[in-house]
Copies of this chain bind each other. A is one copy, B any other.
Amino acid sequence: MKRVQLAGDLQFSQIIHGLWRLSEWNMTSEELVTFIEDCIELGITTFDHADIYGDYSCEKIFGEALALKPELREKMQIVTKCGIKLCSSKFPELRIGHYDTSTEHILHSVENSLKNLQINYIDLLLIHRLDPFMDPKEVANAFNQLHKEGKVHHFGVSNFLPSQFRMLQAHLDMPLVTNQIEVSPMQLEHFEKGTIDLMLEKGISPMIWSPLAGGEIFTSQKEDAVRVRAMLEEIATEVGATSIDQVMYAWLLAHPAKMMPIVGSGKIERVKTAVEATNISISREQWFRIYVAAMGHPVP
Using a CB–CB cutoff of 8 Å, the interface residues on chain A facing chain B are: 85, 94-100, 102, 129, 132-138, 159, 161-164, 166-167, 170-171, 191, 194, 196-198, 200-202, 254-256, 284-285, 287-289, 291-292, 298-300
Contact = CB atoms under 8 A, between A and B. Distances in A.
A92 to B, nearest CB: 13
Contacts of A164: 194, 197
A146 to B, nearest CB: 20
Nearest to A94: B285
A89 to B, nearest CB: 17
**Copy count, this protein chain:** 3
Contacts of A285: 85, 94-96, 98
Contacts of A299: 97-99, 129
A262 to B, nearest CB: 17
A165 to B, nearest CB: 9
Contacts of A197: 163-164, 166-167
A200 B134 contact: yes
9 closest cross-chain pairs (CB), A and B = A163-B194, A135-B256, A98-B288, A163-B197, A167-B201, A167-B197, A170-B201, A167-B200, A96-B289
Given A96-B289, A96-B292, A138-B256, 10 more contacts: A85-B285, A96-B298, A97-B299, A98-B285, A132-B191, A132-B291, A163-B201, A164-B194, A166-B201, A167-B200
Nearest to A105: B284
A162 B135 CA distance: 19
A70 to B, nearest CB: 36
13 contacts: A94-B285, A95-B289, A96-B289, A96-B298, A98-B289, A133-B284, A134-B200, A135-B256, A136-B200, A159-B300, A163-B197, A166-B201, A170-B202
A162 B201 CA distance: 12
A299 B86 CA distance: 10
A100 B287 CA distance: 11
Highest count of chain B CB atoms <10 Å: which of A137, A163, A196, A202: A163
